[in-house]
Amino acid sequence: MTPAAATLVSPGRQALDSALLQLDQAADRLHLDDGLRTMLATPRRSLTVSVPVRREDGRMDVVQGFRVQHNTTRGPAKGGIRFHPSTDIHEVTALAMWMTWKCALVGIPYGGAKGGVSVDPATLTTRELERVTRRYVNEILPIIGPDKDIPAPDVGTDEQTMAWIMDTYSVNAGYPVPGVVTGKPMTLGGSLGRAGATSRGVQIATLKAMSGSPEGRTVAVQGFGKVGAPAARYLADAGCRVVGVSDATGAVVNHSGLDVADLRAWVEETGGVYGYRHADALSHEDLLELDVDVLVPAALEGAITAENASRIRARLIVEGANGPTTPEADRILADAGITVVPDILANAGGVIVSYLEWVQNLQACSWSAKEVDTRLRDLMEESFDAVAAMSAERGLSLRQAAHVIGVGRVAEAHRMRGLYP
C-alpha cells in the first residue's frame, strides 16, 4: 500500500482489521468452521444514531453515536462508552469484539459491547456534555438495560457521565435502575475499588509477568490519564521506579524516578505533564523508546506500530489501553524477545470490578474494598496463569494464548446453545 493509500484507512478501520486478524488466527488454532468464524466476526447488533445537541449559544450541532453489541452468547453485552472526536463505527466494533474475548477470558458472564460518540468532550461545557450524554442514551435506550447491555466508562467519560446515564435510563423506566451502568459514583450504587480497578489490574498483571522482585524496576507510562496515572502509582507502590510518563500535553523523564503523587498534583493544577519542574521534557516518540524494564501503553489504539516497534527497548509491555500494538508491531516485538501482556488480559481489571458492581446492584448489597480487591486479584491472577500455561503448552505469545482461550470459550458456548431455529 502506498503511504497516500495508507492514510485513507481510518485508525478505527485499522483497529477493526487488527481485531479480525487476531480472531482469524485464534479460529485457525481452534479449528473453527466457517459458519462460526463468520458469526464471531460479525456483531450481533450494531446501532448508529444521530445525536442533536443544543449548544450554549443556541445553535444545534449533530454528532454521531454508536453502540455495538458484538456478542451476547455468554451473557448480557458489556462495555464502555467512549467520547472522542475520531471514534467511528469500525473502532467501536473492534473495541466491542475485544470486550467479548476479555469477558470470556476472565470468566465473567458477559458478552461484549462498546459505545462511542464522535465528540471532543474538552470542547463542550458541562451542560452541553450532559445534554449529549442524555440524548445519546435516549437514542440507544431500546437496546441497553441491566439484563441486555450494561455500559461503563471509557476514554473521555467518567462517573459523572455514568450518573447521567443511570438517571436518563431510570427516568424513562419510571424507577431507579442502578444495574444499567457500571462505574457509577458511590452514592448511586458504585463499587469501592472501581475507579482504580483497571490500573490495579495492570499492576497485578505486571507483577505476574515480571520474573523476580519489582524493586527498582524501571517503568514508562504512555498516557498519564484515568488508567495510566493510577497504574504508575500502583507500580511505584510495589517498588518500581517510574521514570517517564506522557499525556496529550507532552512527555517527561527523570531517571532517578518521578514522584508520582507530586506529578499528579502538577497535572491537576496545570492540566498536563508538560512543564513539570522535577523532570526533563522529551518527545512522545522518545517516551515509547525509553530503555526501561516495563512500558505501559495506556492511551489509544495504534501507539506501537511497524514504524516504531524495532526501536522499543522495554523488556516487558503491559497494555493498559485497548489495541495499542498493531499485529505487525506484535511480530517485531516477538522477534526481539519482548513480552507483551495483551490488553484483553492486562486491562481486564476494569470490567472485572464492573461485574462486581453489577452483582452488588442486582443483590442490593455493598462489599468492602478488601472483598472487591481480593476478588479482582484472584480473577486477574487465575486468568494470567491460564494464559501463561496455554502460551507455554502451545508455544504461543501471551496475546495468541489469550485469544485462543477467549475465542474458544465463546465458540464453545455457541456450540452448547445451538442455532435457533
Enumerate the active-site residues. 114
- Count of CB atoms within 10 A of residue 174's CB? 7
CA–CA distance, 314 with 213 (Å, rounded to integer):
17
Q: How far is CA 242 from the centre of its chain?
A: 22
| 8 Å CB contact between 89 and 11 | no
| Min dist. Cβ of residue 312 to ligand GLU (A) | 23
Radius of gyration of the chain (CA): 21
With cell 485513507, the residue in question is 8
| 8 Å CB contact between 358 and 189 | no
Helix axes 327-335, 11-30, angle to 10 degrees: 60
* CB-nearer residue toward ligand GLU: 112 or 408: 112
* CB-nearer residue toward ligand GLU: 71 or 347: 347
| 8 Å CB contact between 351 and 75 | no
| Min dist. Cβ of residue 189 to ligand GLU (A) | 14
Residues 6+ positions from 277 with CB-CB distance below 8 Å: 266
* CB-nearer residue toward ligand GLU: 293 or 357: 357
| 8 Å CB contact between 326 and 14 | yes
CA–CA distance, 70 with 214 (Å, rounded to integer):
37
| Min dist. Cβ of residue 175 to ligand GLU (A) | 23
* CB-nearer residue toward ligand GLU: 79 or 146: 79
Q: Which amino acid is at 179?
A: G
Question: What b/e string do you get for 381-408 counting C-beta neighbours within 10 Å, with b at 16 or more?
Answer: eebbebbbebbeeeebbbbbbbbbbbbb
CA–CA distance, 338 with 355 (Å, rounded to integer):
32
* CB-nearer residue toward ligand GLU: 191 or 218: 191
* CB-nearer residue toward ligand GLU: 80 or 406: 80
DSSP structure class, residue 69: E
CA–CA distance, 100 with 406 (Å, rounded to integer):
8
| Min dist. Cβ of residue 193 to ligand GLU (A) | 12
* CB-nearer residue toward ligand GLU: 159 or 247: 159
Terminal Cα-to-Cα distance of the chain (whole angstroms): 44
| Min dist. Cβ of residue 252 to ligand GLU (A) | 26
| 8 Å CB contact between 320 and 294 | no
| Min dist. Cβ of residue 104 to ligand GLU (A) | 13
Residues 6+ positions from 396 with CB-CB distance below 8 Å: 29, 390, 404
| Min dist. Cβ of residue 409 to ligand GLU (A) | 17
Which single residue brings its beta carbon nearest to ligand GLU? 80
| Min dist. Cβ of residue 322 to ligand GLU (A) | 5
* CB-nearer residue toward ligand GLU: 312 or 372: 372
| 8 Å CB contact between 25 and 406 | no
Binding site for ligand GLU (CB under 6 A): 78-80, 152, 154, 182, 322, 347, 350-351, 354
